Amino acid sequence: MRTLNLHQLATFQVVAKHCSFVRAAEELHFSQPAVSAQIRQLEESLGVKLFDQIGRKTHLTQAGEELYLYSQKIFSVIEEALEVIESLRSPHYGRLSVAADTTVGSYVIPRLLGKFHQMYPEVEITLNVLNRAAVVEALANNRIDIAVVGRVPDDIPVVIEPFAFNELVLVAAPTHRLAGRSKVPFEEVTRETFLLREVGSGTRAALEGLFQEAGVPLKVAMQVGNNSAIKQGVAAGLGIALISRVAIDMELETGRLVILDVEGFPIIRQWRIVHLKDKNLSATARAFKLFLLQHADKRLRKQEPPRS
């Protein structure tokens, strides 16, 4: 394979610029024989003469002129590459790819990314709101930097940090017979009809787990693929549902939904920050992880669940 020695090329560029070995040696702080030796080696490796010595004057040959043009391009690309690498050592530039599973990705992460964007406006951010399997796949294939999830992957090596509590509450339409009652026994709720999230949802798994534990069947009115449709269905009186507290701020404010006060609720789950153990996090990704940890639920450090 033919190669070009960058050190020799750099020397060539200075000789070509001055059309003088003497002035090149001065600029490079080399001896003149050292400069001549480098040019000779370069000519040998390329198999062409780069300079003509006519009397006391040094001229570029045709090959020398071509190489001079290319050497300027080569060194300007190298300069550009060094500048880009230098900028990536700072968290303020580059790309950040975040993944989160459905609920946390829709109701928690966008707000935080907004704040992060204010601090790092040049960073190009992508948020992928995915189901759990897709988050694990994106992590495993190194397509994202950081993920925030309800259930951590158990088959790939990841670093895990606690992030926030996820309170799951039972919601109903304000006209529901259990609305406004306090300390409703769980047993009474088991007679209700539920709107259930899709298979794969952690919220759904939590509700099913509870019913399984109690050994009672879950009456399902409808399976619904996302939180918005669940809220619409519950507000329309189709049934009650288990949903993350962070997903219903607006509905509680406008009175479209109410939280049922049922014994054993809210169910407390946890969101966690994860990234591949072997991944070299970029400066931007490290800054984002730190930012998330700074905004993490302080109570998690002490493992003290939120009061219901």
Which bin fits 183, alpha (ψ -120 to 50), beta or left (φ > 0)?
left
Residues 131-170 that bind ligand PGA (CB under 6 A): 132, 150-151
Give the shortest CB-197-to-ligand PGA separation in angstroms: 6
According to DSSP, the residues that pair with 268 across neighbouring strands are 167
- Binding status of residue 239 toward ligand PGA by CB under 6 A: no
- Binding status of residue 194 toward ligand PGA by CB under 6 A: no
Among residues 28 and 129, whose Cβ is nearest to ligand PGA? 129
- Binding status of residue 171 toward ligand PGA by CB under 6 A: no
Among residues 8 and 201, whose Cβ is nearest to ligand PGA? 201
Question: Angle formed by the axes of helices 32-46 and 6-18, to 10°?
Answer: 110
Give the shortest CB-203-to-ligand PGA separation in angstroms: 3
- Binding status of residue 58 toward ligand PGA by CB under 6 A: no
Give the shortest CB-181-to-ligand PGA separation in angstroms: 26
Among residues 22 and 133, whose Cβ is nearest to ligand PGA? 133
Give the shortest CB-194-to-ligand PGA separation in angstroms: 14
Residues 70-89 that bind ligand PGA (CB under 6 A): none
Give the shortest CB-104-to-ligand PGA separation in angstroms: 7
Residue tagged 């189709």 (tokens): 238
Among residues 50 and 207, whose Cβ is nearest to ligand PGA? 207
Give the shortest CB-254-to-ligand PGA separation in angstroms: 23
**DSSP-derived pairing of the beta strands 95-101 and 124-130:** parallel
Say which residues have a Cβ less than 8 Å from residue 101's Cβ, sequence separation at least 6. Answer: 129, 130, 131, 132, 135, 147, 148, 149, 150, 151, 202
Task: Tell me how far apart the alpha carbons of residues 249 and 254 are, in angstroms, rounded to a whole number.
Answer: 9
Say which residues have a Cβ less than 8 Å from residue 303's Cβ, sequence separation at least 6. Answer: none
Among residues 132 and 275, whose Cβ is nearest to ligand PGA? 132
Residue nearest to ligand PGA (CB): 202
Residues 91-120 that bind ligand PGA (CB under 6 A): 101-103
Pick the stretch among 119-127, 154-162, 195-203, 289-297 that binds ligand PGA (CB under 6 A).
195-203
Among residues 202 and 233, whose Cβ is nearest to ligand PGA? 202
Among residues 176 and 245, whose Cβ is nearest to ligand PGA? 245
Q: Which residues bind ligand PGA (CB under 6 A)?
A: 101-103, 132, 150-151, 197, 201-203
